[in-house]
Amino acid sequence: MRNNQLKQPFQYDKIPIKSLQVVNKRKRAKDTTGTIKRIWSYLAKEKGKLSLVILMVMISSGLGLLGPFMIGTAVDKFIVTKQSAGLATLLISLLFIYLFHSLSIFLQNYWMVGIAQKTIYTLRKDLFHQFHRLSISYFDKRQHGELMSRITNDIDNVNNTLNQSVIQIFSSVLTLTGTVAVMLYLSPILTAVTMVIVPIMFLAIRWITKRTGPLYKLQQKNLGEVNGYVEEIVSGQHIVKTFSQENRVIQEFEERNKDLNHAGFWALTISGFIPKVMNMLNFLSFGLIALAGGILAIYGYVTVGVIVIFTEYARQFTRPLNELSNQFNILLSAVAGAERVFRVMDEKQEETDEKAAKELTTIKGHIQFDHVYFGYENSTILKDISFEAKPGESVAFVGHTGAGKTTIINLISRFYNYDKGEIYLDGTPLKLITRSSLRQHMAFVLQDTFLFQSTIRENIRYGRLQATDEEVIQAAKDANAHEFITKLPNGYDTMLDQQGSGISQGQKQLITIARALLAQPKILILDEATSNIDTITELKIQDALKRLMHGRTSFIIAHRLNTIQEADKIILLEHGKIVEHGSHQELLELKGKYYQLYKGTALEQVDKNGLKI
């Protein structure tokens, strides 16, 4: 089900102003000023080039003001007096002024592009690094496509703004200030006449930006949701088609797309009023200057040249205001994107290692749980868990969905921190071991295989990047993967995508087992590694897993009891507690719940409790 942005229908086309007011209340930026300051902190890293840009902007603004002033001077000196002496010199001066004006604009744009690209490079790098500092729980709660939108659409939005808006805003402010100063010098009365349009312009721009700002923020939010939904549906296209849900997902996409369309339509429509309003005010300003200037010229208060200068300066006066209003809308859109980026960067990172935490170079693989408790958001999942896995032993977990099997694995790998009790590795509490060194001694073979978009060789080598080609091939042989790999057209150099298209699910699992073998871990995690595999391939996988588990402390999550009978220890979990534990034979002799599950005499109870066996 889609999340509505508003409590009531968001129908811009029927009641736009009312809807915009609702959006404005609900979507107002929490800290626009703070976001702009943070963007500036990235720009400030290029102070040298930024100083050159500012210098070029000052030069171009000054030359832009000097040109019209000299044209007005030419009118008074040469046209009104009908004298030509010195006119050639003035025209040549004008030519150089406009040439240097164009050169300064080119240089400021050239340097600003470099600054913007370096800033975006650093921002994107920081965001990507932040992704790797966040805990697994953060990614579990969010759409991956929506997060991808932060590093693509939102940052690109900031990039476009830095390239286009920063210079124009600064240039507009300088031009506006210089224009007003020269106008006051030439004629305070005509300046006052020109300023008549300022309050009208201010009110019009305020009315427009008050409505477009929230809509740009909503547009960015809706864009992220659309990207997230598309990424989710494309990844799950096989499931969509299997259950014939094409029409439903198309309808849900259309709803999200409609929200995005509405927000973008009204943001661009309302912001599009700005040029029209500015053109109307320009015509009004020219009319007022012509009328007032003519009267003042008749009485000798100003010259014809001054009127010409004011006519041009009036355009230069409204142009910066027009640019400022337009860039303000673009800036609001960029701030909306930057807020989303910084929101990720401000998320709580995975807890840092304790100061006393140490790096482990070698381990034996002795794991002990001592009265461990753990919960998610005030909901206790594991309760008083205690067990021991000696080096080289295999421990299997069985139980219904939600019993806590995967949670125990997440605690061993420190994807989550336990609340109470203690977990020991070779007698050392896990919290006193750095996460990186702990995970370097672990390998995972999961139910959902993941392969990178690379060759089979490099996918296997991911287990140990410094491994030689010979070691990669040997790992594939031990995993029973070498035979099918060599039959592929390009062998180990066969390119795979993330879904592993072109090879079967079982073959993908064999590749992940080869990857784990190459890593040479002391602790092994197997999560339903043989599920959904045909019988022949399952035998190959089980044979490969025996080699992989040999001499290693192994933790196995299994739903099919026939896959764990050889485990040294089997732990039956129920509602976060250990209810039975022992070897397969010991649990059968106990004739408890495990015995009932294995003998199949409690199938009705199994169905009722949702147990998967």
Instruction: Give the pLDDT score at 603.
Output: 39
| Last-in-domain residue among 317, 345, 373 | 345
In a domain, 414, yes or no: yes
Rounded distance between C-alpha atoms, residue 496 and residue 493, angstroms: 9
Structure tokens belonging to residue 393:
């032993």
Which phi-psi region, left, alpha or beta, contains residue 573 (left: φ > 0; alpha: ψ -120 to 50)? Answer: beta
How many beta carbons lie within 10 A of that of residue 48, not counting itself?
10
Question: If residue 268 lies in a helix (H) or strand (E), which one and from where to where?
Answer: helix 246-271
- 254 and 389 both lie in a single domain: no
**Across residues 131-139, what is the average pLDDT?**
77
In a domain, 318, yes or no: yes
**Angle made by CA atoms 323, 325, 326, in degrees to the nearest 5:** 65
Tell me how many domains the chain contains: 2
Instruction: Give the pLDDT score at 8.
Output: 38
- 150 and 177 both lie in a single domain: yes
Residue type (1 letter), 434: T
**Across residues 208-232, what is the average pLDDT?**
77
Instruction: Give the pLDDT score at 510.
Output: 87
| Last-in-domain residue among 321, 345, 369 | 345
Taking the C-alpha atoms of 595, 597, 599 and 605 in order, what is their torsion angle to the nearest 10 degrees? 120
CA 497 to chain centre: 22
pLDDT one-digit tens code per residue, 554-585: 998 877 777 788 889 999 998 889 999 999 88
- 246 and 383 both lie in a single domain: no
- 390 and 294 both lie in a single domain: no
Domain that holds residue 263: 31-345
Identify the sign of the CA torsion 76, 79, 80, 84: positive
- 163 and 201 both lie in a single domain: yes
- 272 and 320 both lie in a single domain: yes
Query: Which region among 267-281, 284-298, 340-354 has the lowest average model confidence (pLDDT)?
Result: 267-281
Residue 504 has pLDDT above 90, yes or no: no
> Could you give the 3-state DSSP secondary structure of residue 382?
strand
Identify the sign of the CA torsion 150, 154, 156, 162: negative
- 277 and 412 both lie in a single domain: no
Residue 200 has pLDDT above 70, yes or no: yes
Rounded distance between C-alpha atoms, residue 100 and residue 85, angstroms: 25
Strand pairing class (442-445; 553-557) = unpaired
Residue 594 has pLDDT above 90, yes or no: no
CA 509 to chain centre: 30
- 328 and 379 both lie in a single domain: no
Instruction: Give the pLDDT score at 389.
Output: 92
Instruction: Give the pLDDT score at 388.
Output: 93
Residue 17 has pLDDT above 60, yes or no: no
Q: pLDDT averaged over the chain?
A: 79
Instruction: Give the pLDDT score at 579.
Output: 92
Burial class (CB in 10 A: 0-12, 13-18, 19+), 303: buried
> Is 335 or 554 the better-scoring residue by pLDDT?
554
Structure tokens belonging to residue 372:
């461990």
Rounded distance between C-alpha atoms, residue 446 and residue 37, angstroms: 44
What's phi and psi for 428, nearest 5 deg? -105, 130
Q: Which of 524, 493, 530, 525 is nearest to 510 (CA)?
A: 530
